[in-house]
A = this chain, B = another copy of it.
């Protein structure tokens, strides 16, 4: 396995500001070398958090460059009005002053409780020492302290890395993420950071990130709720050798896929994952719609939790997805066994069907039977989620009572 460390040029430090509770690091500063390029994808929620407004503007003003990213857990700084906006700016200013860089080269995001303000009296005094510590940090250090500092209800840090050999040298792609668990009193706030020492222009990096997100974070669901703080950052330090874009794309996508999978399998109340892939759709968009509808069906997700071979729920969810197909052409495969075709169940061995629903992962393939149009690749049109569990409901019903 590739070592889980930062790529060349990245340094970081973490500190504890007791934002939600004392005794753990909840501030994480990441430094990029001069000239590093930056890209990001942010939540599409209209109530996006104060730091996201700021980071989006900074990325635009700097045309895709950044020298630092400050993250905190324990408070999302969302639904916090003008005080929240001022607090995000003050964090950025504090980091910029300590590093002696332009404020517009500093990005920021928060994750945690919605509707509460950041404890600025505890955060601001920590920014200068944090910047000093990060500046002196060991190069290619372990990702773990950084991944731990951004955790909220995650039960474990989420890290992934790939290495691409280029002659005697190598390019590294590393990523960390925090998951889609819910925290008092509000919702998941996914954050992921992908770093590479490859040489990339800002627009190349942006392109690579979008393709990777489409294959990973845009294809997972824990509860279908897009949060106010979701964000995916990418930075390229340019300190490694030049590598072919296609090769780099593969590594970035692989890192994002691994992180996305970690988010699903560390979701609250997780017991069993499920994937839905669609082929034989007339368009790629049709395939995605069907996969998403099945993956988000409560009935399908309950059946997966119970290991219940309720294939009827799967075809019924496909049938209500809102796209047009010939139901008599639909074929359903679960765990590789074809169990439904020509509008009726096939006579399969019940033990085979039961086993397909009872492993650690339930794999569903729906063939819509269209012979015209795209022959979509399987992976491109799949969706990864988990069974819906009583534990998920319990955790999300019982915060304040």
Contacts and interface: CB of A to CB of B under 8 A. Distances in A.
Interface in A224-246: 224-228
Interface residues of A, number: 64
Interface string A312-332: 110111111000110100000
Interface in A273-322: 297-299, 302-303, 305-313, 315-320
B225 A313 contact: yes
A133 B313 CA distance: 37
A44 B310 CA distance: 21
Given A313-B187, A313-B225, A327 B47 contact: yes
Nearest to A84: B344
A306 B397 contact: yes
Given A185-B309, A299-B187, A309-B400, A316 B393 contact: no
A223 B78 CA distance: 29
Q: How many copies does the complex hold?
A: 2
Contact of A81 (B298, B306, B344): B344
Contact of A396 (B83, B114, B303, B394): B303
Interface in A63-114: 78-81, 83-84, 114
Question: For the complex, would chain A's binding face be called helix, strand, loop or mixed by DSSP majority?
Answer: loop
A387 interface: yes
Contact of A185 (B47, B308, B320, B343): B308
A390 interface: yes
Contacts of A387: 397
Contacts of A39: none
A249 interface: no
Nearest to A344: B81
Given A115-B312, A185-B310, A299 B343 contact: no
Contacts of A342: 81
A29 to B, nearest CB: 27
A399 B299 CA distance: 12
A372 interface: no
A220 to B, nearest CB: 15
A66 B319 CA distance: 29
A182 interface: yes
Contacts of A320: 44-46, 225-226
Contacts of A399: 303, 306, 308, 310
Given A81-B344, A186-B316, 13 more contacts: A47-B315, A47-B318, A47-B327, A78-B316, A79-B312, A114-B312, A185-B312, A186-B313, A228-B316, A228-B319, A298-B388, A303-B396, A303-B399
* Nearest 6 interchain pairs by C-beta: A306-B397, A81-B344, A302-B396, A47-B319, A114-B312, A46-B319
Interface of A: 44-48, 78-81, 83-84, 114-115, 182, 185-187, 223-228, 297-299, 302-303, 305-313, 315-320, 324-325, 327, 340, 342-345, 387-390, 392-394, 396-401
